[in-house]
Amino acid sequence: MFPVPFPGHFNPMIQLAGIFHHRGFSVTILHTSHNFPDPSRHPHFTFRAISHKKEGEGEDPLSRSETSGLDLVSFIRVLKQKYAEPFRETLAAEVGGGETVCCLVSDAIWGRSTEDAAKEVGLRRVVLRTGGAASFRAFAAFPLLRDKGYFSMLVFLKWSPVTPESDW
């Protein structure tokens, strides 16, 4: 499992991990070094820290100096950039280790990098959207707000990734 390192994303992921554990699966949580949880609070799971620091570096630059003053969207962008390759390497090592890995459950915010990494090592991937009803309603309202002119197309394009699957 690979949650985004925010409490509102980690908690639903850990609840799902609990369901898997109750059904007899062993669960490994791959987590960024940023906001790394206390493994003693979740003794039924194995935690693996994914660090993006290079050997010889001191503090994790993502935890303090690089993120101070960033808005949420910029922070998420930096998080995704810094952890894409280390995640890929950690996942490959996990799959190549001793235990059988059934699938990857990743947070939707990680996007395509987790899909590509899972394909690379031959794993199925399930995406967990951790947003609640209010989040769903807000996303569902975007097309209506755009159609009514509250968002210009340029502003909307900055918020929405344009992919071949886009329907507009």
Q: How far apart, in whole angstroms, are the C-alpha atoms of residue 15 and residue 140?
A: 26
- Boundaries of CATH 3.40.50.2000 in the chain? 7-131
The residue whose two tokens read 């998080």 is: 79
Q: Which of 9, 31, 34, 52 is catalytic?
A: 9
- CA 44 → CA 5, 14, 57, 64, 129, distances in Å? 19, 11, 32, 30, 23
pLDDT given at position 127 = 94
Q: Which fold has domain 7-131?
A: Rossmann fold (3.40.50)
Judged by average pLDDT, the poorest of 3-7, 30-34, 120-124, 130-134 is: 130-134
Q: What pLDDT is attached to residue 144?
A: 83
Catalytic, 107? Answer yes
| Stretch among 19-23, 105-109, 143-147 having the lowest mean pLDDT | 143-147
**Active-site annotation holds for 9:** yes
- Res. 54 pLDDT band, cuts 50 70 90: low
Neighbours of 125 (CB within 10 A): 16
pLDDT at 151: 63
Catalytic residue among 22, 52, 107, 116: 107
